[in-house]
Structure 1
Amino acid sequence: MPPRQREPSIDRTTEYEEFMKRLAAYHEKRGTTLEPEPRVGPRRLDLLRLYKRVVADGGYDLVSDTKKTRLGWRRIAEDFIGKSPHLPAQAFTTKSAYYKNLAAYEISDHWKRDPPPKEILEDVSAKGGDLLTRTLENFDCPVGRETENLVNGDVSDAGDVEKEKTPKEEKMDIDDPGSTGRVTRGLRQAPPQRVLFQPDGAPSRQTRHASNHVNSPTPAAANVHSVMNGTHGPSGASLNLANYEPRQQYPLTLKPVTTPGNAPEFFRQKRQMLKETASGNVSKKYKGMMLPGSGFPGPNIYVRALLSLRSGIPEEEEYALHHLVKISHERGDKYQFEQFPGLADALIVKVLHVSSLFYNVHWEISYEEDVVTDSGSTLNGLTGTRNILQKLRSGVPLATNDDIHTQAFSAELGRITEAGLVIRNMVMLEENAAYISKIASIRDFITITLNLPRQSTIVELQHYALEIAEQVTKYFSLGPHDPLYLSLLSQLEGTDRGAIITSLRAIGRIAMTLEEHNRLEAVPFATLRRVCEWMLVEDEELRSACLDFLYQYTSTADNVGTLMKSVDVEGLVDQLVRLLLYNAKEDERKFKGEVKEEPVPPIPQLTRGIMDTYMRYDEPERSSLWLKSCFEYDEHSEMTQISLWQAYQAAFAPYGPFDMQASNFIKNVSSTFTGASAQVAAGNKYVISGIKPRDTPVDRSLKPFARCLWHISKAPLMPTPPQLHGNTTDDIDRTECSELTRPGQEMFEHILDKHLHVPKRRIDEAKEEKFHLDPDSTRTYDCRWGGCQHFANTRGIASAHTACAHIKTHLPDSSGKASHRQKYNRSEPAASKSDETSIWLNTCTDERNDAAGLPLTSALVLRNLARYLSKTDAEHSQEDGGLVNRIFGPVKEQLYYVMAHNFALRDYIAALTRAIAAAGG
């Protein structure tokens, strides 16, 4: 057998092929050469995986920056190549492969920038970094020796004798002592002899005469002289010995040697081989077989499992299914049927054996068109077996007990269940489901499994079959007489919740990926009634499966007509409307088109009594009191500096001169309100940001003042004579007092003194004067607060106590919780403004913020009903004003409520209402 090939290091998926096409087109446009599969050591690099890994680590510049990422390319090379003693070299090779093939593409594709020209990128070495900032100006491109000679002007003519030898060549004849340089240009010369340093033995201080006439010999000259004579001074030898260091010793790498003492079995087999070779029998005995120890490791686990499954040996099947269950669960999207041809067929053949445990039948799959499969135990492997249910029922049932089974029965059923579990795990991947749907025998397996005798031993396998059907029915077109379709409908007659939910999902997904429409015909009336009854159960998963089924079922007018005959459609519609707000949560949403900007309220005007109190203070405390009384902090508001300064001048101008300057006043605003500041807005407009006028001014303790709403005539108000009191307040031209006082007792005393003119009397000399409220026959009292006409019919009242008790009912709440009574506050109506926020009852949404879940499916089912109810029998369309109006009329108000308050469903409910209107509802 040929030697085992190494597994490919490149995963040639569709994504990889598309990436390589884009990369090749990019290099062709750039004018560079692409190496599609660069080799690093024994492996070839997958450029797609390498590109994703480097980009995930921050890009080429960050991976190459050793200050931020230590040994970044070594880690990447170890992940792609594996551990190796040559890892540093392989890391640089990996870096060079990425630099030549992917660096420019990374800058264009990932960073969306223009890469440097190829002259300073692909044409130079990968030692440098900072590709994103590399330009022709800041990058010193290395040049060759010939280019450098041309730039420096070192090229000499061949006939010029004087320039035949460059100065550098003369200089490098003998290196200077202690020089560490080496010849980098010209012919290679003999290495110079190193001369040890020999200190000068002459006295350090010389006479002036000697220094003027005789030059002391340099150590280098002495050393050169001694070297030329072949002798060395004793001082140099001593220094050489003193500085001598022995060479570092490295540990030896020992390799064990196989000897007859430590491996007798190996030598025994070797002697036997030699004997057989000498006799000439070895070629016949081991012909076509690779001997043990010759390097053949055997097939991988996938091939081994497939071959074991095909063998039919129980022990091998258990080994194969054990590993396949684990692989299909752990590998996920990396384990596909296309990569292992024959695996899906072998698993289907295995699960089809389940029928032989309960019936005297052994299936055989035929892939020939001319073979008749209408009778016998032959299954059609090309298009599926149409009469599989008749074949199964015609088989002789075996005597099986649900409680007692033989060991062979349990073992075989366990292997079949594991095979079904492997198929179920693998079809969860979309590619595997599409692959296995093309194998017609999978439909026979699902049909056979769902129609086996109802025993607890096969419940697990039946659930696997239903989950497989849920994934593959979207690739099938099933008619009303298809065995698989009938088998799925029969599951709805049972009591197993899991089987019912999975069956409903499988039926609702039939032909989902096909162009042809799935009609879901011949559904029994009892099944339809049962589905509508399940809608009442408080089970979200069961309701979702029922709604999916009803959405597919009501997509045709014939099915809607059948639904009308079998179930109470009014009750169904009422339940669907209730589900439109299933698990709805209140949410506040703002609408930019409906929100109107509130006008800036006017600056409050303080009364003379309050201003007289403020005039007792000096600046800047006076301006601070006025600002706190008339303004408040608001981070979203602003005022122009000039308007604020003019308002301050207008407020204090009638009360005498003041020495506050505009600049000091603006600075005092920031000191008064923390967070307010003077700024320059757009258009060079000077503003104060962070303040706005108050609706109601406040006092020093930030308690709001109360405004007197007592109506007074423009003429001086006099006590009302009894003969004139018959006139109402509307007969006289009146205005409001608008005096600001503190609410409560101070406002009450203001009314008694200024408006009712109640006299005061001093009861005791030591006490203050108090209002005299005794009855007076010469006058009557009236209430004129906010246009009140409580005493209009009685022509006033003589009792001051009764009048005052009534007036107190109008006065503002002294606790500050209410500014005034709304009943008679006609002069200050509530300001009408559009709401900035609205309360929405939103249901669940998907990642695109679109409606999802039970509310969406309920709206779609209602829309189908509204579209096709008018196309049903004519006898229903005329009674009670029309069928659509009779069914949807009672729930129209609820539909409008959902459309007005559910942001995610409003478009779907709008389409539903249009369908109802188009149907005459």
Structure 2
Amino acid sequence: MAPPRQEPSPPTLPQSSEYAAFMDKLAAFHEKRGTELQREPRVGSKFINLLDLFNVVVGRGGYDKISDEKLAWRKLGQDWNLPANNLPALAFGLKTVYYKNLAAFEIAEIHKKDPPPREILEDLTAKGGALLSRTVDNYKPARRETGNLGHHDSEASGDDGTPSRERNGSEETPGSGGRVTRGLRQAPPQRVLFQPEVHSSSRQTRHVATTSHTSTPQHHNQHQLPRVGASSSYTPSLSEHQSQAVERYEPRPQMPLTLRPVITPGNNAVEFSRRQKAYRDTALMAAYARTPAPLNRGVMLPGSGFDGPNIYVRCLCALKSGIPSEQEYALHHLVKISMERGDKYKFESFPGLAEALIEKVLEVSSLLYKVKWRIAYTEDELSATPDTLNGIDGTPDILQRISKLPKLAVDDNIQPAEFSDVLLQVNEAGLTLRNMVMLEENALYVSEMSPLRDFLTIALNLPKLDCLTELKHYALDIAEQLTKYLHFEETDPLYISLLAQLQSEDRGAILTCLRAISRISMTLEENNTLKGIPSACIQNILDWTLLNDDELLHACLDILYQYTAVVANVDFLTTNSLIEPLVNQLTRLLAHGANQLLKLEEPERSSQWLRCLFEEDRDEAITQIALWQEYQACFAPTVVETGRQLLPAAEFIKNVSTTFAEKAAAQVQPGPIQKFIIKGIRMRSVPVDLKGEPYSKCYWKSGASPGDQGPCNKFFMSPEEMYRHILRDHVGAPELEDGKFDNSQVGQYTCEWEHCRRFKGKPATKLLQLATHIKVHLPPRRVPAANKDSEYLGPPPAKKLKPSYIISPPKQAFMLHFTAVDERHEAAGVPLSAVLVLRNLARNLSKTQAEEKAMKLPGAVSWVDRLFKPVSPRLYETMAHNKALTPYITDLINAMNDA
């Protein structure tokens, strides 16, 4: 038997003189008021210091101001370090602690007013606000609202209702929401209540239209919805009045009964006799006219005082009714509800909703085949008819049944009105399912429903018609959310249907299908072996890795990573000669994204740019605005070309401190005019490239104007670039079509290089003379010595010096590759996926049957050596130059050596 749970002893709260004085004053106040003070209240497992709580609330404007702000008590609970797993309830508990112990004290001490009586303050719940204006006359306790899903809003939410939101254009236009607002979910809308129409009646009831809702202090201008009869047709729209009515809906107050005396022979014999005679005369007249008695006598009909169900239950009942007009109404509203309230709308709250939607989407087959699917949930209903689906265990031969169905003649360009109406309802049902399974609880709920898997198989095998594309994409989206909870055998109809989509020409369908396959069994203990993928599909995946499409590339690598983790699959790749091109392509992908500055992603691009132009200096500083303007001037013209947006100013300044983490920091320089500066960096005297090599400056005097005698001061990395710059921009030499210069020009040429006096007294008469001299001023070449076919060979070699005992080693440039990293500064993206697939191949190749056969041949060479030896230099280079990938390349090389 478990020991009894012991309550935690309260911690020792600070017993300072200020705290003791405050608690004594608060205790005296409660004693005078006749209320009870909790000296050490507790919210959850945390004890609350009333002095600290009082100071925080008063510092933020007081109880009323915090209560008027939505989610303010939850934010206060976060600041109070309340547990996040049940924050709404704990936030309301914190609010209640303040309400019971400190609210009246705040009114008296801070606002200098008389607090409301305890009957309308401490004795009531803490829900609501407006304590400063609360009186016995104007205060009416707020009633609980009925939530959108049939539940009550919890007072433990820490707030007083749901924040309102601005309605979009589609919601303001009647009839437009179900078709215009499709897509990703937006913020949840106001709740919508269905109310039946009030018909005129000769008899007044307790719930006549003149009885209005009682307004509370929190709700104003409450609207009454037009009520609609159960059998009338409906306009598929949600008006603004309906949304407001749902948000502000409250149950009708209980009306007092009016007692009337019953006429009996004992108390009024004359009146009783008259009524009996009138009743007999009416019965005789009805019998003579042979008028049947009303069938609904004694039944409370809609419009006669019965409000009817809310919009959610109304849609569920309408969908299950089978009446086309009712289903049209239900599906239109379900689309809006699933999109706008998808974070709250759960299948488990409405039993039968998922089954009704599945039955509706299955109607698409009746438009294309001579079939009407019927779902059987009991063994007695299961029969050998081809149109019966097994709702318990699924239909294993669904693909064979589909192939044998007789087809109907359907024109993809022109359809009858009935065809279009049914297809529209099917698409709306599919969209509702798609929106609802985006919630994990709903996806897990429907993943166990076999009819849904049968529908996905049917939808993915529909004929290739343009009118069915929308429904197929909904089916793929649903499959993407469900496959993580499913395990497929190689012969599973849905698995085969998903693999067939890899032969499609629709990029969206291929991308969603790849994601769905890669998620199979993600949350299950069974291994996702991905058996049975045809070689044509594998070849397509390999071909897609060659495309310049990062999104598709990521999806393909995710598939390959899981596929190559199974030895049998690696053996399949080896047997079908697919593994050699795969290894070569994956090796090339190791350098994916490790490009020059303009091709880098932010914030890495701005970091590299800062390192090239600036260096750390503890005593220097630069203004933030100047740094930001230089960054904009450098990269703003390339936004359209590269498609990479600039960092916002705040993010860029933060990235400066991150790049130069040791010394640089953003500061405010005091003075008559405050300056925002970056302390700890300065501009380099000579910029460097990504490898740290310095650029060379051009000292040719431009002489563009009589007063401009300074040097050019432009920087160039290679001597060839500076050479062409001087001849083209300074000397003005004519350039030929092949990029060379015309040396036949005759004129007066002088060298304007700073501090050079060549050709000053006697100018050169030919351009060739000046061009040969210019090479003396150029920096040494940084290209390898093997490159001797270049037009420019550099300056003449220096005189040979005597050998020295101290010989400087040759300078070697070492270039680092920067690939994508995550928030932990670890490798991410395409290069990481590529090296992981290579590691799987290196580990599993030695275990395949192809390896056993290869080792039996004379002069045998293992598959690991055959595939990885040619790319080993590239792997070692990547390991040395790419710090983020070094741990993974090391594991890959170890796997190669162990094979």
Which structure has the bigger radius of gyration?
A: 1
How high is the TM-score relative to the length of structure 1? Answer: 0.47
